[in-house]
Amino acid sequence: MKKSDWSRFRKHAARPERIVWAVAEHEGRRSICPLGWKMNTSGSPPMMAVSVAPSRFTHGLIEQSGELALAWPGEDLAEATLLCGTRSGRDMDKFAEAGLTPLPGEHVKAPLVAECVANLECRVVGRLTTGDHTIFACEILAVWLHDQPKRLCVSCDRSAGYDILLDKDGRIFGAVKAD
């Protein structure tokens, strides 16, 4: 073994990373923030945790509303993921800009995304400040699946095993290659 650094480790071991969109709404403003940093964190009750940077507009909406939707983009939403990840919801409505269809949830005010493979309605039940992000621990109140299964959109690199969906501005999105 040899001593290395975090950036080299991340090149080696941080991808592929399934992408999830954190979707939140508060007082009539809504936004979508694509994330790679998420994990399951409880089986009973079902919970996921996400890491969101405080600078993101969506971070404030989650803090203020205490709710969010976790929407999972499929391989047809690579362009929308890039748009939502590189523009700020302070300046635009991302649903309109990306041609996405908001749907009402049953438990949370945050809209679901009709085009996504899956949507989870979530209530924030815990938070922890880490170095430059906030961990939101999210209890999953309802699960919605799209009628048509699709491969999930992942953040990846050009190593073998992925169909590349988009390669722009240093970001590569793909889907695990089928046989």
Q: Are 83 and 98 in contact (CB under 8 A)?
A: yes
CB-neighbour burial class of residue 78 (10 A; exposed 0-12, middle 13-18, buried 19+): buried
Residue 7 amino acid letter:
S
Q: Tell me the closest approach of the beta carbon of residue 176 to its own copies, in angstroms.
A: 4
56 binds its own copies (CB under 8 A): no
28 binds its own copies (CB under 8 A): no
**Structural tokens at position 169:** 């501005």
38 binds its own copies (CB under 8 A): yes
Q: Tell me the closest approach of the beta carbon of residue 148 to its own copies, in angstroms.
A: 10
Residue 153 amino acid letter:
C
Residue 82 amino acid letter:
L
Q: Tell me the closest approach of the beta carbon of residue 87 to its own copies, in angstroms.
A: 20
146 binds its own copies (CB under 8 A): yes
Site residues for its own copies, 95-134, by CB under 8 A, read 103, 112, 114, 117-120, 125-133
Cβ partners under 8 Å of residue 85, min gap 6: 33, 34, 171
13 binds its own copies (CB under 8 A): yes
Q: Tell me the closest approach of the beta carbon of residue 74 to its own copies, in angstroms.
A: 10
- The C-alpha atoms of residue 156 and residue 171 are separated, in whole angstroms, by 8
- The C-alpha atoms of residue 70 and residue 122 are separated, in whole angstroms, by 7
| Total residues found in the chain within this entry | 179
Q: Tell me the closest approach of the beta carbon of residue 51 to its own copies, in angstroms.
A: 4
In the complex, the residues that contact its own copies under the rule CB under 8 A are 1-6, 8-10, 12-14, 16, 18, 36-47, 49-51, 72, 103, 112, 114, 117-120, 125-133, 135, 137, 139-140, 142-147, 149, 152, 159-162, 176-179
